[in-house]
Amino acid sequence: MLENFSFRTIVEYLPLFGQGLVTTVWLSVLAFAGALAVGIVLAAMNLQRGWLFRIPAKAYIDAVRATPLLAQLYFLYFGLPRLGIILPELVVGILALSLNSGAYVAEIIRAGILSIPRGQVEAGVASGMTYVQRMRFVILPQAFKVTIPPLLGQAIVLVKDSALLSLIAVAELTRAGQLLASDRFMPAEGFITIAAFYLLLYYGLKGLAALSGRWLGLAGVRT
């Protein structure tokens, strides 16, 4: 089988893979930034005592977690134009990833905030801090540190999920592999190459996680 494996074709397509890789990286960065924003808002809503904000947040998170990302992507891709909202595929793709990943990020942040001992809140209350001050100076800095490892895990999931954007013709990494596969009828070359690139991205993020872990240790955070 390997004698038929064409490294030459892969090399020939490297510029295309390179472009795809770059696109995957920056669209993932943007989508994850969006996911963080969505997640923070949802987590804040979900932590309210009153049901007015909590119920919609819970419903949203359940809906996202219960349905396939592909369905969500198509829902936006075909649904938005029917509402008269015409957006480029890339924007729709980033939006879908942000809205999807945001639901998971929200649960990670919520768990992080709830993991902070009650005594920390009371110490802030007793010293006359307002709710916002307690969040800003006491709770969020601690919650942030405990959420970094699971957030990086979610970032890895998001990078892999971005492969689905190839289905709405976003020229990212998987799309590059598909092009090679269909142009030259070489699916093995196309998909093994993109798998290698995803592996590369994975180790990059894992390295980042290790670095952040060392930084957490230095900052004297209890683990």
Residues at the interface with other proteins (CB under 8 A) = 117, 119-120, 122-123, 125-130, 133, 137-138, 141-142, 145, 219-222
Q: How far is the CB of 47 from other proteins (least distance, A)?
A: 20
The two tokens of residue 54 are 């909590």
Task: Give least dist CB 7 to other proteins, A.
Answer: 51
Q: Minimal distance in Å, beta carbon 112 to other proteins?
A: 13
CA distance 146 to 207: 17
For other proteins, give the closer residue by CB, 130 or 182. 130
**Shortest Å, Cβ 141 to other proteins:** 5
Residue closer to other proteins, measured from CB, 30 or 111:
111
* 40 or 129: CB nearest other proteins: 129
Cβ 151 to other proteins, closest distance in Å?
A: 17
134 vs 175, beta carbon nearer other proteins:
134
Minimum gap (Å) between residue 221 Cβ and other proteins: 6
Residue (48 or 133) nearer to other proteins, CB: 133
Give whichever of 115 and 182 is closer to other proteins, judged by the CB atom.
115
- Helices 7-46 and 187-218: crossing angle in degrees, nearest 10, is 40
